[in-house]
Amino acid sequence: MSTSQQISITKSAAKRVGELVASEGIESLMLRVTVSAGGCSGFEYSFDLDKTQNSDDKIFETGGIKVIIDEMSLELLGGSELDYVDDLAGASFRLNIPNATASCGCGISFSV
């Protein structure tokens, strides 16, 4: 798999996913990243905990946690870095998307 078809996961994001999975008490949970049409820049990404792997999903594992993403979303997000940021603006997962040509102030909407 080429680098452009991967998602890297920071230590901060891995730690937070681990905390969320532990709080749910279901070890098979993974963080699902999904892209959908919408948002003020054309696409928006979202996160959810999921225990199901579909046939078109790719799994990325770091520090014992798993991040799952479908092939279509991966085409748009490939090469991105998943991070967890806790600062004055709030705490959230964020994607640093290298091929995004625009994004909006909310941080979850982008265009390529």
Is 109 within 8 Å of 94 (Cβ atoms)?
A: no
Considering Cα of 73, then 69, then 61, then 20, what sign does the dihedral take?
positive
Q: How confident is the model at residue 2, as a pLDDT?
A: 53
Q: How confident is the model at residue 101, as a pLDDT?
A: 61
**pTM of this prediction?**
0.83
Domain count, the chain: 1
Is 109 within 8 Å of 39 (Cβ atoms)?
A: yes
d(CA 69, CA 102): 22
Here the CATH number for the domain that contains residue 100 is 2.60.300.12
Q: Which domain holds residue 38?
A: 3-111
> Alpha-carbon Rg of the chain, whole angstroms?
14
Is 89 within 8 Å of 20 (Cβ atoms)?
A: no
Low-confidence ranges of the chain (pLDDT < 50): none
